[in-house]
Amino acid sequence: MAGPRVDDIYDQVKAMAVSFRLRPGDRLNEVALSKDLGVSRTPLREALNRLVAERLFDFRPGQGFFCRPLDAQSVFDLFELRQIIETAAARAACAKASDEDFQTLRNELYAKGIDITGLTIEEAVTRDEAFHLAIAKLSGNMELLQTLTRINERIRYIRWISMSLDRVQRSKGEHKQVMQALMDRDADEAARVLGAHITKRMDQVQDAVRHGISSIYMEGSEDISTRIIEEVQE
Amino acid sequence: MAGPRVDDIYDQVKAMAVSFRLRPGDRLNEVALSKDLGVSRTPLREALNRLVAERLFDFRPGQGFFCRPLDAQSVFDLFELRQIIETAAARAACAKASDEDFQTLRNELYAKGIDITGLTIEEAVTRDEAFHLAIAKLSGNMELLQTLTRINERIRYIRWISMSLDRVQRSKGEHKQVMQALMDRDADEAARVLGAHITKRMDQVQDAVRHGISSIYMEGSEDISTRIIEEVQE
DNA sequence: GCACACAGATCTGTATACAGTTTTGTATAT
DNA sequence: ATATACAAAACTGTATACAGATCTGTGTGC
C-alpha cells in the first residue's frame, strides 16, 4: 500500500506545531517522535525540513529541530502582514469577483459565521478563518491565498488563546459590514472595514501577548474545546 | 569538519532552480544530482523538501521532485503580490524608519543603482532587488521582508529575461521619485510611485511572457552575463 | 502500422547502521 | 558549596541497502 507517507507525516507534525502540542522552544526528539508516528527518522526529517521552510520549526545544525517560539514582535509582524494582504485581497475581489461569487460567499461562509453559539472556540476560529480565506480566494490570486494560509497557520494558536480570553466573539457586525461593502463593490470601504476589523483583533492579541506569552504556552489546549455560551446582540 | 551540509545543499540547489539551470517541468534525478554535489540522497532530499515548501519544486509521490514550471498566471500573481507588499512596506517605512535610515538607503543602495553601465544584467537586477528589499526592511516588519524575499526568488529569472529583452533599464527616474517621496515621508506618494513602477515592470514582463514562456526557458543563461552598454538620459 | 502487454532497467521511498557531535551525569578538587 | 574535568549516554547527520513503484523499450498480435 504505502501511500504518500511524507505528506501524512507533514500534516501530522504541522498539526502538532500549530496547536502548540509541541511547546515552542523545545527541541524535538526525532527518535521519540518517529516512534510515536510509526515511521523512521528519514521521512520524518523530510517533513520537518518542509516545516523549517515554513518557519514553523527552527533548525540548528548539530542540534536538530526546535519548535519555533512566537515572540511578541513576530506576532505583531504577522498580524500586520495579514492586514496588508487581506485588505489588498478585498480590493482585488471587488474588481475581479462575480456577483455569483459574492452570493456564494454570503450564503455559505458568511452565514455559517453568524451564529457561533454552542461551537467550540476551535470551531469558531476555523469559521472565522474560512470567511477571511474565502475573500482572499476571490482576489483570484492563488499566490496571495497561499501566503495568507501560511500566515494563518502561524498565528492560529494565538487567535485561539485570544478568543478564549475574550470569551465573546465580536466579529459578527464587522463581518456584516465587510460583506455589504463587497457586494456593493466598494473597494475602499471593504478595505477600510476589513483593515479596522483586523486591527481590533490585533489589539486584543497584543493584550493577550502582553499578559504573558509564556503563560499562554501552558494553558490553552483545553480552553479551545470549551463551548461558546452566548453572543453579544448586534 | 563537516559543517552544515544540508544548508549548503539547499543553497546550491536553490541557486540552480532560481537561475533555471534546472529546467522547469523537468524531473529531478536524485542519484545524478547527489553525485554532482558529492553527497548522498538523504541530505539532498531534505534540502529538496525545503524547496518544495517554498514552491520552487513540486513533489509528486511516487515520481519524485520536479522543477516547478512558472506559468503566466503565477507570474502575474507573484508580481501583483509583490506590488501589494512593497507599497505597504513603503507606507510603513514612512511611518517607522528614521531619517538616518533613509540617508543610508540613499547613500548606499540607491546610489549604487543609478549607474549600471558596464554591469551584467544579473548584477543590475541584483542591485534593483537590493534597493527594493532595503525599503521592505525599513518597514521594520521582518515577516514582510522574508515573504518578499521568497517572492523575488521565484520571479528573478523572469526579471533577468525581461531586462535582457528590453536592453535598457528605465528604473532610474522612478527610483529617484520613490527615494524622494520616502525622504519627504509622503506615504501616499511613495506607495503610488512604487506601485506604478512595479506595474510598469509587470507590463514588460507580461509582454515577455506572452512572447512565449517556453522560448524563455531555452535562451537566457548567457544573456544575463552580457553587459549593459548605455543608459537612457533622464 | 498501431495498440497493447510484458520484461528489464531505472528510480523513488524508507529503514537501518554507524560515525561524530552534543549533552548529561558523576566524581574530584578547590 | 561551587566549579571543573572526564566519561558515558543520547542524539544528530549521512551513507547505504533494499523493497516497491514507475518508466522504458521491445516484441507480439491484430
| Structural domains in chain A plus CATH codes | 5-67 (1.10.10.10), 72-225 (1.20.120.530)
pLDDT digits (tens, 9 = 90+) for B111-135: 888 878 788 888 989 999 999 999 9
B142 contacts A6? CB cut-off 8 A: no
Q: At what angle do helices B171-183 and B187-210 cross, to 10 degrees?
A: 160
How far is it, in rounded angstroms, from Cα A201 to Cα A186? Answer: 23
Task: State the Cα–Cα distance between residues A183 and A98, nearest whole angstrom.
Answer: 10
A113 to A83, A92, A135, A171, A172: CA distances (angstroms): 20, 23, 14, 9, 7
Q: How many CA atoms lie within 13 A of B179 on its CB side?
A: 20
Residue A226 near residue A164 (C-beta atoms within 8 A): yes
Contact A143 B77 (CB under 8 A): yes
Strands B57-60 and A64-67: unpaired
**Residues 6+ away with beta carbon under 8 Å from A9:** A37, A39, A43, A44, A46, A47
The owner of cell 497584543 is A206
Residue A86: closest CA among B151, B73, B88: B88
Nucleotide nearest to B3 (CA to C1'): D13
Lowest-confidence region among A35-39, A209-213, B30-34, B221-225: B221-225
> How close, in Å, is residue A197 to chain B by CA atoms?
18
Determine the distance between A176 (CA) and D4 (C1') in angstroms: 67
- 3-state SS of chain B: helix, strand, coil percent to 5? 70, 5, 25
- Nearest residue on chain A to B56, judged by CA atoms? A53
Is-contact B18 B51, C-beta < 8 A?
A: no
B90 part of contact set with chain A, CB < 8 Å: no
- Strand D reaches within 7 A of the B6 CB: yes
Q: Where residue B63 falls among pLDDT bands split at 50, 70, 90?
A: very high
Q: Which single residue is written with the C-alpha cell 527518522?
A: A41
Helix, strand, or coil here: B59?
strand
- pLDDT tens string B33-52: 999 999 999 999 999 999 99
Cα separation, A179 vs A193, whole angstroms? 10
Nearest CB partner across the interface for B50, out of A53, A61, A143: A53
Q: Is the pLDDT of residue A196 over 90?
A: yes
Q: Which of the two residues, A174 and B165, has the higher pLDDT score?
A: A174
Record: contact A47-B49, CB cut-off 8 A: yes
pLDDT of residue A20: 87
Chain A residue with minimal CA distance to B91?
A84
- What contacts B70, CB < 8 A, 6 or more positions away? B24, B154, B155, B157, B158, B213
pLDDT value, residue A211: 66
Interface of A with B in 151-170 (CB under 8 A): 151
Nearest by CB to residue A81, choosing from B54, B55, B144, is B144
Spell out which residues of chain B touch residue A142, defining contact as CB-CB under 8 Å. Answer: 73-74, 77
Contacts of B3 in chain A (CB under 8 A): 61
**With an 8 Å Cβ cutoff, is B54 touching chain A?**
yes
Q: Return the C-alpha cell found at A103.
A: 452570493
CA nearest B73 in A: which residue?
A141
Q: What is the DSSP string of B164-188?
A: HHH-S--HHHHHHHHHHHHHTT-HH
Q: How high is the pLDDT of residue A75? A: 94
CA distance B224 to B222: 5
Q: Is A50 close to B50, i.e. CB distance below 8 A?
A: yes
The length of chain B in residues reads: 234
Q: Which nucleotide is nearest to B64 (CA to C1')?
A: C12
DSSP state, B60? E
- Specify the higher pLDDT residue, A159 or A94: A94
Q: Is any Cβ of chain B less than 8 angstroms from the Cβ of A93?
A: no
* Alpha-carbon dihedral sign for residues B76, B81, B84, B86: negative
The bases of strand C with some atom under 7 A from any protein CB are: 11-17, 20-23
pLDDT tens figures, B140-190:
999 999 999 999 999 998 888 888 877 666 777 899 999 999 999 999 999
CA distances from B34 to A95, A168, B10, B37, B45 (A): 48, 55, 12, 5, 9
- DSSP notation for B63-107: TEEEEPP--HHHHHHHHHHHHHHHHHHHHHHHHH--HHHHHHHII
Among the listed ranges A61-65, A113-117, B8-12, which one has the minimum average pLDDT value? A113-117
